[in-house]
Structure 1
Amino acid sequence: MLPLNRIHTFNWALDRMIKEAKIKRITVHGLRHTHAIILINQKTSVVAVSKRFGNTAEEIHKTYGNSDDEADRQAVNVFDSIINM
């Protein structure tokens, strides 16, 4: 885990880049969830996702088990369009 001053610096830098890019704000935590949903929607194995995120496969299923629904696909598409501007 990063020391608090490094986390603060990272969040400050992220906020600055978001403002400069004139895009909707997203937190680091939101990026983490979006990343997981993208991986799961791309049929990445739950074991691989759980290792990447430091969770058990059961925790990934509990948190993202419904990630195949339409709302999550829309969120992925919006995030993807922002990344690829």
Structure 2
Amino acid sequence: MAVHIRLARGGTKKTPIYRVVVTDQRSPRGGRFLENIGTFDPSNKDNLIKVDEARFNYWRGVGAQPSDTVGRLVVRALKASAAAAPKK
């Protein structure tokens, strides 16, 4: 079974909120998923994506492939969290 990490759309008309889910590659966009590991709110410019990094790294370790969009968003979130961390 090919497992992917991708976005599943939720929210209301014209105000989408996405869930970052781990799912079988053949499942539809809003269909069944194995695990919900985060959220993405495109209308919120301060904190774009919230992802459980431990679960994200676990699924990557067992072979799950993130979609292009999820990969870019997670990299951006990690850079933002590293910049916000206090320097020693």
TM-score by length of 2: 0.27
- Which of the two has greater helix per residue? 1
**Higher Cα Rg, which structure:** 1
Structure with larger RCO (C-alpha < 8 A, sep 6+): 2
- Which of the two has greater strand per residue? 2
TM-score by length of 1: 0.27
